[in-house]
Amino acid sequence: MNKREMSQTHEGTELMHEVYDDGSGMARPGVVILPSFANRGAVEVEHAGRLVDLGYSVLAADIFGKDMLGLDVGNPQDKQRAFDTMNEKLEDRGAYVKQQQAILDFARGLDVVDGDCMAVMGFCFGGLCTLDLARSGADFQVAGSFHGLLKIPNFPTEKVTPKVAVFHGWDDPMAPPADVVALGQELTEQGACDWQIHAYGGVGHAFTNPQAGKLEIDGVAYDDNAASRSWDSFCDLLEATFRK
């Protein structure tokens, strides 16, 4: 597996992405991974490797800037810095989604990516960014949100064209059941061509992250069953969409 760092500047912020590919030089279907509020870390890198093994090229994004890579949410200062940055971005999601659009375009232009076959997936805050990208009218084929925030959009939306898969812990304190119902209604009203929501009973937030307990927040915990089942479902959707 090849790994390389690639820099992108968006509105004065330098983003340091990581690109993973199989080393063949062939253009494969591309997957953009949008990370959690802690920015890119072990979870995103691990999933990038899994995707390359399955035949995809991957951009594991930096969504806050290279000075906010390597955060340790077990450190109170890093955790607070990450929460503050996320909350700042949440204040104007319409402006922030333009960065995600730029990251998608950057990934689409990579030599190892088939730009006609694009998926975006995200964890936690990155799950919300993935959904917002779909809401923005961006052109890509699959959107996957893993324990993403499900807050209704606070910006003008367009028809949702990607296939949407949402993987959710029913006991997630950051996305209560009312938010799940509201999302289903929104996707229907926005004419989403193909959407699904998987809710896992007895499961909370950050269920894909083995280190979730470091956050020390009630309702935030790793769950192996939900992590495995959501991953299998997402891979099935990618396979059905991109394999010919």
- Residue-wise pLDDT for 160-169, tens only, equals 999 999 999 9
pTM of the complete model? 0.97
**Predicted local confidence at residue 243, as pLDDT:** 83
Predicted confidence (pLDDT) per residue in 65-111, tens digit: 999 999 998 899 999 999 999 999 999 999 999 999 999 999 999 99
Q: Residue 182 region, left (φ>0) first, then alpha (ψ -120 to 50), else beta?
A: alpha
The whole domain housing 205 covers 2-242
How is residue 222 annotated by DSSP? -
Total domains, the chain:
1
pLDDT exceeds cutoff 80 at 244:
no
The proportion of the chain whose per-residue pLDDT surpasses 70, expressed as a percent, equals 100
User: CA triplet 9, 13, 14: central angle to 5 degrees?
Assistant: 55
Mean pLDDT of 6-16: 96
**Cross-sheet strand order for the sheet of 113-123:** 2-10, 13-21, 57-60, 28-34, 113-123, 142-146, 163-169, 195-200
Average model confidence (pLDDT) across the chain: 96
Per-residue pLDDT, averaged over 196-211, amounts to 97
CATH number of the domain encompassing residue 75: 3.40.50.1820
At 7 the three-state DSSP class reads strand
Q: Which DSSP state fits 117? A: E
